[in-house]
A = this chain, B = another copy of it.
Amino acid sequence: MEQKQFKPLDPLLHSELRLAVMSLLLEVEEADFVYLKKQTDATAGNLSVQLDKLSGAGYIEVEKTFRGKKPCTLCRMTDKGHEAFLAYVDALQSYILQANKQ
């Protein structure tokens, strides 16, 4: 897939849930676990795993705090994540540009 015609798609972003999370974090700049779960309609387990992956890649920062007595997991996109997301969107264009013209 490393041909001129199609740019490779970052596997870390080429996932429905991780893409949705990144899309949300691009808008709001900071969001907690509960908010992300509601907006994406994901299960908690799935969201937890995918946040770990994004965090492990350095695409998001995760801060564990408390809101009152309840735990609160805050997420925000890093610069690296921002760049990666824009690059992913750019790469996608090489696959879907023709379709947009139709």
A49 to chain B, nearest CB (A): 15
Residues of B within 8 A of A8 (CB): 16
How many copies the complex holds: the figure is 2
Q: How far is the CA of A3 from the CA of B99 in the complex (A)?
A: 25
Q: How far is the CA of A48 from the CA of B45 in the complex (A)?
A: 34
What is the size category of the interface that chain A forms with chain B?
Answer: 20 to 34
Please tell me if the beta carbons of B98 and A92 are within 8 angstroms of each other in the complex.
Answer: no
Please tell me if the beta carbons of A40 and B6 are within 8 angstroms of each other in the complex.
Answer: yes
Q: A89-B99, A89-B100, A96-B89 are in contact. Are A6 and B27 (CB under 8 A)?
A: no
A23 interface neighbour in B26, B85, B98, Cβ under 8 Å:
B98
**Can you offer 29 A-B residue contacts whose CB atoms are under 8 A?**
A1-B16, A1-B17, A1-B20, A1-B40, A1-B42, A2-B41, A3-B39, A3-B40, A5-B20, A6-B23, A6-B39, A6-B40, A8-B16, A9-B16, A14-B14, A19-B95, A19-B96, A20-B95, A23-B94, A23-B95, A23-B96, A23-B98, A23-B99, A27-B98, A85-B99, A86-B99, A86-B102, A89-B96, A92-B92
